[in-house]
A and B are shown apart, each in its own frame.
Chain A
Amino acid sequence: MSLKVESLSVRFGRTLILDDVSGLKACPGELTALIGPNGAGKSTLLKSIAGIERSTGLVSLDDTVLDTLDIARRAGKIYYLPQDITSRAALSVFEAVLLARRTTHQTDRQQDLKRVQHTLQTLELEQYAERDLGQLSGGQRQRVAIAQAVVREPRVLMLDEPTSALDLHHQLQVLEWLVTLAREQQMIIIIAIHDLSLAARFSRHMWLMGTGGKVRAVGPPEKVLTEERLREVYAIRAHVEWPEGEPPRVTPLAATRQLGAQNSRQDF
């Protein structure tokens, strides 16, 4: 009962974006954090798992090979929340979330409406239900996108930097809620996230990607996040602490490489 990725590769022309990514596993009931520097291929990995990016390799969920499903069926089981949510469609928040719900569940309309309302309430969005998407702030827009993802009740939920536009309050709130959601609904939740302290605090499992589209480490946060590995993968000197009874802290101290010292990879 888990999501598994074996020998996954993605190529854009001659560039290898993902290089034989293997041994990734995410389990229901817990949060898996996907971390790595810019351009490591985090988004591409999530998109490939979702079936949005063309790839070679094997992605399986509960022993079903996902490539055997058509787009709509696959999207019903597994949902990818993109990083850039720029749409300013003339749809109300309620309409947009209901659309996300109705594209997988076409059962009881009343129940779907209630589900949407409940999700909006949970994400503190109900007072904006009539606003158009274009009238929202960046953080509100991001929470609407999270509502759209969660309201579908997928087996696997992958969120690409879901907290990048959120204030500190909402960052903690959303992540705490995702942890609860994973536990209560036995959902597999994978988040790509840059804040390593938050990643260490809320995830039970980590996938660390390095440049060149390779997986550098997989395992529980305490094993993955070592100071030596951060220096290697992120090119930073960092302080990693696991204080008793307090959230873990990853404090970046200095970049070990200065800009211009070496051709740095383009940020996608």
Chain B
Amino acid sequence: MTVTAPSTDTSIERYLQRRRRHYWLLAITAVLTLCSLIADVATGPGQYGLGDILHAIVSPDDAPRAIAVIVWEIRLPVALMAIMVGMSLASAGAEMQTILNNPLADPFTLGISAAASFGAALAIVLGVSLFPVASELLTTLNAFIMAMVASLLIWLVSRMRGVSVQTMVLMGIALMFFFNATLGILQYVASAESLQQLIFWSLGSLSRASWSKIGIVTAALLITMPIFFFAGWRLTALRMGDLQARALGVNVGRLRLTVLLCSSLLAATAVAFVGIIGFIGLVGPHIARMLVGEDQRVFLPMSALTGALLMSLTSIVSKTLIPGVLLPVGIITALIGLPFFVSLILKSRREVWG
């Protein structure tokens, strides 16, 4: 991302140009995400024209009843859920990478997704409820609770004296293996039927999306994103290293706790509703970092939008790859994201991490 600017420009002008370019990139990604959302709604078994779909989105009352129902009850929830989950996972990944100073940190590698799987398995296989609740929500709530337990464990370890961020990451990885093992035990004893259900859950799927679920995921975003934005300069400063961040006046311990809990909340909510979707939380922030750097004012929204766009594209691909078959998105994310990501890191001269 080295830009050769005319040498007559002052460093201030070049800085302002750079910021304008960042805002343009943000705007372009936002437009692409919107296009992808519409394309997502327009894709499906019933062949409707783009005009009909747009008409049904904008004014559902005038549109033919069949299209309006398909768009508003089936396709739009799935498409919007893709956007919201993508935003949640990528933002959570971006902030986990920031506070743990580790390019590999994301909800997946920190064991939060594995913990969620275990929670879901408790509900599906054993019917164990961690909280008295209606059975349809059991899986979701168990997954959420276990995900939060995992992040609290990581946080508790970090409270011990002299624990570095590397220890926190290793703790997360240990948790991932632990929960995978306990999940394995449950899978071993599970009946064939519940095993199938569990595997389907853990592959990650948007098909269970509904407006109320979208509402909850959006609520989690609305709670956490302002906190991230408010802590923006502190998070940017944290990337200068703990010591320098403290010298700059950042209460590093408190910041790390707040942001860890918030990003866990985001990840746990998303995973609880759609199951395990890896890769987005890792790749979204990396692409954002390559495009706009790590100034949180643009890095965070860029991560969220990149995650949303990737998730939305994935949703389209999962419908069209095999016509008539809706593949679990969790499988597709890696398939679609990986080649793109690899080509980016190989092409980019920017030092992604050091």
Q: Does A79 count as interface, using CB distance less than 8 angstroms? A: yes
Chain A residues, CB < 8 A from B237: 99, 103
Q: Does A195 count as interface, using CB distance less than 8 angstroms? A: no
**Chain B 226-256: CB-based contact to A (< 8 A → 1; otherwise 0):** 0000000100110111011011111100000
Q: Does B351 count as interface, using CB distance less than 8 angstroms? A: yes
Using a CB-CB cutoff of 8 Å, which residues 1-59 of chain B contact chain A?
Answer: 1-3, 5, 10-12, 14-15, 18
Q: Are B243 and A82 in contact (CB under 8 A)?
A: yes
Chain A residues, CB < 8 A from B353: 88
Q: Does A255 count as interface, using CB distance less than 8 angstroms? A: no
Q: Are A87 and B240 in contact (CB under 8 A)?
A: yes
CA distance A104 to B248 in the complex (A): 8
Report if A91-B236 is in contact (Cβ < 8 Å); known contacts: A130-B3, A130-B18, A132-B350.
Answer: yes
Q: B40 to nearest A CB, angstroms?
A: 31
Number of interface residues of B (CB under 8 A): 34
Chain A residues, CB < 8 A from B350: 90, 132, 134
Q: Does A202 count as interface, using CB distance less than 8 angstroms? A: no
Using a CB-CB cutoff of 8 Å, which residues 336-354 of chain B contact chain A?
Answer: 350-354
Q: Which residue of the partner chain, among B2, B14, B247, B295, contacts A75 with CB atoms under 8 Å?
A: B247
Q: Does A220 count as interface, using CB distance less than 8 angstroms? A: no
Report if A103-B249 is in contact (Cβ < 8 Å); known contacts: A88-B353, A91-B239, A92-B18.
Answer: yes
Q: Are A90 and B247 in contact (CB under 8 A)?
A: no
Q: Is the interface of A mostly helix, strand, loop or mixed?
A: helix
Q: Are B11 and A103 in contact (CB under 8 A)?
A: no
Report if A81-B247 is in contact (Cβ < 8 Å); known contacts: A88-B353, A91-B294, A132-B350.
Answer: yes
Q: How large is the interface on A (under 10, 10 to 19, 20 to 34, 35 or more residues)?
A: 35 or more
Q: Does A16 count as interface, using CB distance less than 8 angstroms? A: no
Chain B residues, CB < 8 A from A89: 236, 239-240, 294
Chain B residues, CB < 8 A from A71: 246, 249-251
Besides the known contacts A132-B293, A132-B351, 15 further A-B residue pairs in the complex with CB atoms under 8 A apart: A71-B246, A71-B250, A71-B251, A73-B249, A82-B244, A87-B244, A89-B239, A94-B18, A99-B233, A99-B248, A116-B12, A117-B10, A117-B11, A129-B15, A130-B11
Interface residues of chain B, those whose CB is within 8 Å of chain A, are 1-3, 5, 10-12, 14-15, 18, 233, 236-237, 239-241, 243-244, 246-251, 289-290, 293-295, 350-354
